[in-house]
Structure 1
Amino acid sequence: MPTPALSVPRQMLRRRPVRGAPVADGSSNHLRRRLGGFQLTMFGVGATVGAGIFFVFPEAVPQAGPAVVVSFVMAGAAAGLAAMCYAELASAVPISGSAYSYAYATLGEFVAVVVGACLLLEYGVSTAAVSVGWSQYLSKLSLNVFGVSVPQAISSAPWESDGGVVNLPAIILVAICAALLIGGTSESAKVNAVMVVIKLGVLLMFAVIASTAFRADRFSDFTPFGFSGISWAAGTIFFSYVGLDAVSTAGEEVKDPQHTIPRAIMAALLIVTGVYVVVAVAAMGSQPWQNFEGQNAGLAVIVDNITGNRVGSTVLVAGAVISIFSVTLVTMYGQTRILFAMGRDGLLPATLAKVNSRTGTPVTNTVIVAVVVAILAGLVPLQRLAEMVSIGALTAFIVVSVAVVVLRVREPDLPRGFKVPGYPITPVLSAAACGWILYSLHWYTWIAFTGWVAVALTFYLVWGRRHSALNGGQNGGTAMAQAHVRS
């Protein structure tokens, strides 16, 4: 590896070319384009609907009360503004890596590393959190069908109050998803599309059943904890919208990405927002808000209480078990593609960007992701995971919003299949909305996040900057990097 010709500050500011960027020695240059618009839209819906709506209520409702409906809308509005920014950048920079790659092309290597760390945190912790929630619903399904729930010792984390040892169902789910992803992207997308259709049908069934017990007076004490409670809940709920980012991680595996990716992002946003609002209103009107605290598999419990039998809740739980599976599958997919992009750029070991010649998938990094996520899912309680997802996602969303403006200024003639409406107001509002929710997160979340970013930056300064593909790799990387620093 040649010694970098640039000083450390200039290394940190260099940008990855939008076209014709060098790649690290030993990595694959690209992935196979196999996905169409419908499959990609289902990726966005699959990664989003389920992550929050099935099991975030016990965490968010005690913070905001009935006003949690506003928290859902608030988080959705911030995600919607960011989604439009993602759509523009995805059409202009149609490569794997999502916000990491956009930051690298616009704001430089140092910021890209920070965003990459945020995304790895977002996807890794999100996958673990969803796996924990899946375990709760699996236990409920076992109780309904067989009359026996999964023992607490093997279905709960050690630090939970119920005496858990390890969350084995969550670990098994991660292993199954890893096997599907290793088998092929197109195959995984087909499985996901089927599960998304089941998921939407189950949630529609819940809304219909819950509406039979709807009482408007349950919204009378609408904001028991004031506006701060709404903000806190929005920060917790925001992790249920981060799946929209997963659409842009597939930049190199989509046919006609300049047009397909923006359409898929916006379609997924509309579907997700509509489903969340309908289900949230139905749930809050079906029982007192105080009942949500500690109510694992809450939607199924609500159906039980309304119908007085387990038929409806058994269908709901079975649908949740199937559909939450799709969230785990797509969020794990997103993390493997972030690792692929960073490995190809040389900021992580190139082995993470090696693609299997038969399946066209990065097998090594998928196995690594599965092991790390399985450890988190098996040993860390759900409530300690949700906000860590939000803080990583919000930071990435802010950077994407800023990157839209930067790329418009630096490369105004770059072909774009989609442009943010209301520019530059929209990206500014997106950054401000995400920053506001970010500010409302708890202090201990900030401490953990700061520690994680510090580790990532230390790794970059010690190892990553010395191995960057822009140091003088296959395509004249040093000269290219110097040109981009000067510009």
Structure 2
Amino acid sequence: MPKAIFWCVGIGTLTMFVCGYVGMLVVPDWKDYIGNENWMNTVLFQVSKMTGGEGFGIFFTAGYLTELAVFNLVATAAGARLLYGMGRDNLLPKSIFAKINKKWKTPHWSILIIVTIEFILGISANMTTLSNLVNYGALFGFAALNLSVIWLYYVKKKGESSIKLGSQANWSPKGAQHIRYFLLPLLAFFVIIYVWVSMDKLAQIIGTAWLVLGFLYLVIKTRGFRKLPPQLHL
């Protein structure tokens, strides 16, 4: 599984780099547009129009909008399914999020809540803020993941060694292994913090407010961390 993850990241990075490089070759005077934010936000459309003319640009736009619609449907369904699971297992109010529509057999309240939030954000925030807001949660998760590696192996000392070393329990890194289990996670954490600081301020405010609300809700559900939170079963 870890090797498959590395292969996916490597192939995805190479594919995006090659596609971006080949696409920019179509624009010989790209330096004239690099400071134009509107042009940068529509660069795929601009490249498609330069490549195949106005007709191909329209064709690309139609396909792009269709892809966005399909992705939004899938993302909304996945989010609604997650909220339903959280409601069913009493992580969220069960009377709302675990409610199933009798006719369509769908968690309709979860879907309506997601669509309402999407609509409000869509008409009140710009593209930069929305993209940074999406990345806020991902960056927080990656930062927590890297810190958890250090916490597991150096604070709790309950980590497991790699398969090559026999998957030993309560294992502690030695020698050059500190690079993998301490130095790299710590470096990744600071890189993520640097990216986070560079984010749009409004996205930082909204994301942090949502994080604080989630933390306070966790405190309430665990009665001040005196009991374990409800378990989510997917």
* Structure 1: distance between partners of 2:65 and 2:72: 11
> Could you say if the C-alpha distance between residues 315 and 271 of structure 1 is closer, same or farther in structure 2, counting changes exceeding 3 Å?
farther
- Check if 1:412 corresponds to 2:159: yes
CA offsets per residue over residues 164-192 of structure 1, 9 Å max, x none?
Answer: xxxxxxxxxxxxxxxxxxxxxxxxxxxxx
> Could you say if the C-alpha distance between residues 472 and 374 of structure 1 is closer, same or farther in structure 2, counting changes exceeding 3 Å?
closer
Equivalent positions of 1:58-457 (< 5 A) are 259=1, 265-285=5-25, 286=27, 287-291=29-33, 292-295=36-39, 297-307=42-52, 309-336=53-80, 338-340=82-84, 342-343=86-87, 346-351=90-95, 352=97, 364-407=109-152, 409=156, 411-412=158-159, 422-457=180-215
Q: What letter matches 2:117 in structure 1?
A: V
CA offsets per residue over residues 440-473 of structure 1, 9 Å max, x none?
Answer: 2244443333333333334444x433499x5697
The answer as to whether partners of 1:347 and 1:467 remain within 8 angstroms in 2 is: no
Q: 1:395 deviation in Å?
A: 1.3
> Could you say if the C-alpha distance between residues 445 and 381 of structure 1 is closer, same or farther in structure 2, counting changes exceeding 3 Å?
closer
Q: What letter matches 1:293 in structure 2?
A: E
The answer as to whether partners of 1:346 and 1:464 remain within 8 angstroms in 2 is: no
Q: 1:400 deviation in Å?
A: 1.6
> Could you say if the C-alpha distance between residues 471 and 331 of structure 1 is closer, same or farther in structure 2, counting changes exceeding 3 Å?
same
The answer as to whether partners of 1:353 and 1:362 remain within 8 angstroms in 2 is: yes
Equivalent positions of 1:467-482 (< 5 A) are 470=227
The answer as to whether partners of 1:398 and 1:434 remain within 8 angstroms in 2 is: yes
The answer as to whether partners of 2:128 and 2:200 remain within 8 angstroms in 1 is: no
* Structure 2: distance between partners of 1:267 and 1:393: 20
Q: 1:385 deviation in Å?
A: 1.5
Q: 1:306 deviation in Å?
A: 4.3
* Structure 2: distance between partners of 1:268 and 1:440: 27
Q: Which has the higher contact order (CA 8 A, sep 6+)?
A: 1
* Structure 2: distance between partners of 1:267 and 1:329: 28
Q: What letter matches 2:20 in structure 1?
A: A
List structure 1 runs of 4+ shifted beyond 6 angstroms: 354-361
Q: What letter matches 1:464 in structure 2?
A: K
CA offsets per residue over residues 76-106 of structure 1, 9 Å max, x none?
Answer: xxxxxxxxxxxxxxxxxxxxxxxxxxxxxxx
Q: 1:358 deviation in Å?
A: 11
* Structure 2: distance between partners of 1:326 and 1:268: 23
Q: 1:398 deviation in Å?
A: 0.3
User: Percent of pairs identical after alignment?
Assistant: 23
Q: What letter matches 1:452 in structure 2?
A: W
> Could you say if the C-alpha distance between residues 359 and 265 of structure 1 is closer, same or farther in structure 2, counting changes exceeding 3 Å?
farther
CA RMSD of aligned residues (A): 4.2
- Residue 464 of structure 1, aligned match among 204, 221, 226: 221
TM-score of the superposed pair, with normalisation by structure 1 = 0.35
SS in 2 for 1:456: helix
TM-score of the superposed pair, with normalisation by structure 2 = 0.64
Can you give the 5+ residue segments of structure 2 that lack an aligned partner in the other structure?
A: 168-178
* Structure 2: distance between partners of 1:281 and 1:473: 48
The answer as to whether partners of 1:341 and 1:353 remain within 8 angstroms in 2 is: yes
Q: 1:394 deviation in Å?
A: 1.0
Q: What letter matches 1:315 in structure 2?
A: F
